[in-house]
Amino acid sequence: MASTFAVLADPHRREILDVLRAGERPVNDLVDWLALTQPAVSKHLRVLREAGLVEVRRDAQRRLYRLRAEPLAEVDAWLAPYRRMWERSLDALEERLDGMDG
Amino acid sequence: MASTFAVLADPHRREILDVLRAGERPVNDLVDWLALTQPAVSKHLRVLREAGLVEVRRDAQRRLYRLRAEPLAEVDAWLAPYRRMWERSLDALEERLDGMDG
DNA sequence: CGGCAATATAGCCATAGGAGCATATAACCT
DNA sequence: AGGTTATATGCTCCTATGGCTATATTGCCG
């Protein structure tokens, strides 16, 4: 199964997650939102589902997809040790700017 | 140019970054660390460099690669709105566990 | 039951990308 | 200059993947 990182590599998939942040949506809503054919969207949803990033619920003929953020914690955890590094760089930049004509 | 997300999709590249967290390293060190040929490593380093995730410094025949964490801030920013979501889920789980036989 | 709506799956094509081998480049040393 | 070390680049191969069209599936409604 693809890693969460690999799943997030595709911009369309990130966009799907962004849309689902507002609440569950049927496939067709997502098709309208992204400029993609319905099968393409379904394929992305399958990848997201297999990665545990979305869940499905049936509503008559429709399938309502909902966000599952938990796997993103893994990404956040990987990122954690780096956070202090770019924060340090930004602080330094800020200090330089403060010193400039203050 | 590939997005930071796409660059991070490859496990070897994440591993390189993890190694570089400890400080700058010549290519050969990375070759020893990952089980890859030198050209493969150089290729990954090129991708990382073009994404701004590493910098190079010459030291005689060697090239010392150093981490640049700044582009990771973009990933962190994308992640931010999701963070509260999985934290909420984990809190709920914790509460259920606390309630279980307490 | 027949037909429509919503979604999933299959098959196909084109492209990207990661890996390896061979080779170019560059700097050191003698 | 010639050899050796360290790294980059070019080329090729293979696989993975994203997109599309066509079709299967499932459930609704008349």
Q: Which tens digit of pLDDT belongs to each residue from A43-93?
A: 999 999 999 999 999 999 999 999 999 999 999 999 999 999 998 776 776
- Choose the mutation target among A8, A10, A83 for the interface with B, i.e. most B CBs under 10 Å: A8
Entry field: residues in chain A: 102
pLDDT at B102 over 60: no
B85 to chain A, closest Cα gap in Å: 6
What's the pLDDT at A12?
98
The overall average pLDDT reported for chain B is 92
- The dihedral sign for the CA sequence A18, A19, A25, A28: negative
B10 to chain A, closest Cα gap in Å: 7
Q: Which nucleotides in chain C lie less than 7 Å from some protein C-beta?
A: 5-11, 17-23, 26-28
Query: Based on the structure, what is the number of domains in chain B?
Result: 1
Q: What is the pLDDT of residues B9-22, one digit of tens each?
A: 999 999 999 999 99
3-state secondary structure of A70: coil
- For position B30, which CATH number holds? 1.10.10.10
What pLDDT band is residue B99 in, cutting at 50, 70 and 90? low
pLDDT at B25 over 70: yes
Q: Is B73 on the interface with A (CB under 8 A)?
A: yes
Give the pLDDT mean for A24-40: 97
Q: pLDDT: is B44 or A94 the higher one? A: B44
Residue range(s) defining the domain that contains residue B47? 2-100
Q: Looking at beta carbons, which residues of chain A come within 8 Å of B6?
A: 9
Distance in angstroms (rounded) separating the CA atoms of residues B29 and B27: 5
Q: What b/e readout covers B40-52, taking b as 16+ CB neighbours within 10 angstroms?
A: ebeebbebbeebe
Centroid of chain to Cα A10: 9
Closest in A69, A81, A83 to B85, CB measured: A69
